[in-house]
């Protein structure tokens, strides 16, 4: 973004990468997939790069408002400094915080989740799917993340994106507003589960396996990790793959 601003150019959209997208090896692949899609459709975008910080979601939900405010206010200063208007992000936690929590702190942007952007681009014909792609006829199940689904009510966009793959979408028993959490939210990602019978991600992975799908589609870097770990714990990692929507699209689009 700094470079573009220096050259006086304004990107169509700012891509908010997030901590996971920046540092987590698995989520980095999703980040790259999104860049590839945006490049392929010729949408000009920028990232904040080293100027980006965590949105503060895990700190706020852990109860540490001080750290949250510190991060959020710095991010808002940067974003407002560049006069950013539209943001896309691949993380539903970043999405929620940017969209719903930054306005009270003075940060007002149009924020979309990448599943919404993908749907838009597919509908507008800017993304074209290759005929008889890799996923044709394959059984895919979709895991609603809490912060995209229940919290922000986005249930259809990601499903519409999956429909475009010509695959067979099978729902888990608990889906949409009844979707079961992967276990990562509320800063649980950064600690062990409290004492109990079972890890939450295992419960969800078992449910995903029950659908008989060979692909589990997710929309959140933390769900991705949680589902993958859960499936691995069931020793099914060779039969069932966990992908982000963007990865599925990039694999199947005409470029």
Question: Angle at CA 145, nearest 5°, toward 79 and 21?
Answer: 45
Q: Is 173 in the site for another protein (CB under 8 A)?
A: no
Which of 67-75, 114-122, 132-140, 234-242 is the region at the interface with another protein (rule: CB under 8 A)? Answer: 67-75
Please state the closest distance from residue 168 (CB atom) to another protein, in A.
27
* Cα distance from N-terminal residue to C-terminal residue, the chain: 25
CA-to-CA dists, residue 135 to 129, 207, 213, angstroms: 11, 21, 12
Backbone φ, ψ for residue 216 (5° rounding): -105, 120
Shortest distance in whole angstroms from residue 76 CB to another protein: 9
> Is residue 47 within the footprint of another protein (CB under 8 A)?
yes
Q: Measured between alpha carbons, how far is 216 from 90 in angstroms, rounded to an integer?
A: 17
- Reading the block at residue 34, the tokens are 């999104």
| Closest to 213 (Cα-Cα) out of 176, 187, 243 | 243
Position 223 contacts another protein (CB under 8 A): no
CB nearer to another protein: give 2 or 214: 2
22 interacts with another protein by CB under 8 A = yes
CB of 63 to another protein, least distance (A): 3
What is the phi/psi pair of residue 163, to 5°? Answer: -55, -35
Write out the residues near another protein by the rule CB under 8 A.
Answer: 17, 19-23, 28, 31-32, 35, 47, 49-50, 52-54, 56, 58-67, 69-71, 73-74, 77, 96-97, 99-101, 104-105, 146-147, 150-152, 177-178, 180-181, 183-188, 190-200, 202-204
């Amino acid at each position: 973004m700094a470079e573009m601003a220096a050259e006086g150019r304004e990107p169509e959209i700012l891509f908010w990468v997030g901590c996971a997208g920046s540092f987590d090896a698995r989520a980095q692949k999703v980040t790259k997939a999104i860049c590839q899609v945006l490049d392929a459709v010729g949408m000009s975008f920028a990232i904040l790069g080293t100027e980006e910080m965590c949105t503060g979601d895990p700190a706020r939900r852990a109860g540490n408002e001080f750290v949250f405010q510190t991060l959020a206010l710095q991010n808002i200063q940067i974003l407002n400094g560049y006069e950013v208007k539209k943001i896309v992000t691949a993380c539903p936690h970043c999405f929620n915080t940017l969209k719903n929590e930054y306005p009270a702190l003075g940060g007002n942007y149009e924020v979309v989740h990448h599943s919404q952007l993908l749907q838009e681009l597919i509908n507008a014909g800017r993304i074209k799917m290759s005929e008889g792609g890799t996923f044709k006829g394959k059984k895919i199940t979709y895991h609603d993340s809490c912060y995209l689904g229940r919290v922000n009510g986005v249930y259809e966009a990601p499903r519409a994106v999956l429909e475009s793959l010509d695959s067979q979408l099978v729902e888990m028993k608990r889906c949409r507003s009844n979707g079961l959490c992967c276990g990562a939210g509320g800063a649980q990602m950064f600690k062990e589960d409290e004492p109990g019978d079972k890890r939450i991600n295992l419960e969800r992975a078992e449910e995903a396996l029950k659908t008989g799908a060979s692909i589990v589609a997710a929309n959140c870097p933390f769900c991705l990790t949680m589902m993958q770990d859960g499936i691995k714990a069931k020793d099914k990692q060779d039969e069932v793959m966990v992908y982000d929507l963007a990865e599925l699209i990039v694999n199947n689009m005409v470029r």
